[in-house]
Each structure stands twice: as structure tokens, then as C-alpha cells.
Amino acid sequence: MTSSRANVPAGVGRRCLQYFLDEMLVMVLLFVPVALGIIAFTPIGRSTVAFVKGVFLGYCFLAMLAGILLHTWWPWRHDGQTPAMRWLGLRIVTTTGEPPPLRAYVVRQFLVVVDGFAWGLVGVVLMLATRHHQRLGDLVAGTLVVRTR
């Protein structure tokens, strides 16, 4: 890793804030159309509860899919940055400072299952314990999150 400003590892607090902001963005962007759909199409009567349950499950599925796309495809196509990373001046790079391949983003996202265990505690502990503030997904994928400013 070179010593340029662009390769300074991002702090744990900023990374946690970035993840929270990205997830809130997904939830808000999905909530508005789902809420409008519920208002417009909710049947009146006995089937209302079943309908709302179905909508909730659909919402959960869409949120999961949107989260996967946001953390894999989006940064791969947008210079290693999710929307919140751009706002906070962060970027995903390989340990050599290069743009990661799509495979690295997929590995990072797959290992969110482990990093997210106990409400993200595993990922936070790993970021605090590693020199470049890497979570398990970063370590396995050979990536790190750096500051861009």
C-alpha cells in the first residue's frame, strides 16, 4: 500500500456511519413505493392481514436484494463507492490500491453474514483489531476502505 492520502484506511466510526446511511437509503427508497402500494391496493375485509403480511415479506425480499446490489454492483460500477461512501469520502480498493474486481465485492457482501453477527459486533471488533480497519469480508476479499479526502 502506498503512502498517498487516498490510501489512508477509513476509521471504524466513519465506516459504521456509512453502512447505516446506505441501509437507510435503501429502506427509504423502498418504503415510499411500498407504502403507496399498500394504500392504493389494500383490500378491505378479512384478507387485509394476509395482504399486509405478503407485502411485508415482499418488502423484506426487495430490501435484501437492493442491499446486495448496493454493496456489490453499485461500487463496482461507481469507482468503489456506494452513495454514502461518496458523501463521506470513502472508497473500496484492493490492498495494493487498485480498483477491486466484481468477485471481491461479492466476497465482501457474502461475508456480511459473519461480520453482521450480533448486530454487527463481529465486524466492528475485527475492524478495531486489524491495522487497516478491515472486517472479515475485506480480509478474505483482499480489500480495504480508504479515505478519499
**Is 1 inside any structural domain?**
no
Extract the C-alpha cell encoding 87. Answer: 458523501
Q: Is 79:91 a contact under the CB 8 Å cutoff?
A: yes
**Is 2 inside any structural domain?**
no
Number of structural domains in the chain:
1
pLDDT in the model for residue 2:
45
pLDDT in the model for residue 33:
82
74's enclosing H/E stretch is helix 73-77
pLDDT in the model for residue 3:
43
**DSSP-assigned letters across all residues of 27-38:** HHHHHHHHHHHH
Give the pLDDT means over successive 10-residue stretches in the chain (149 positions): 66 97 92 81 74 84 92 97 98 97 97 89 96 97 96
Cα–Cα nearest to 108, from 61, 81, 142, 67: 142
Structural domain of residue 137, as residue ranges? Answer: 8-147
**Is 17 inside any structural domain?**
yes
pLDDT in the model for residue 13:
97
**Is 18 inside any structural domain?**
yes
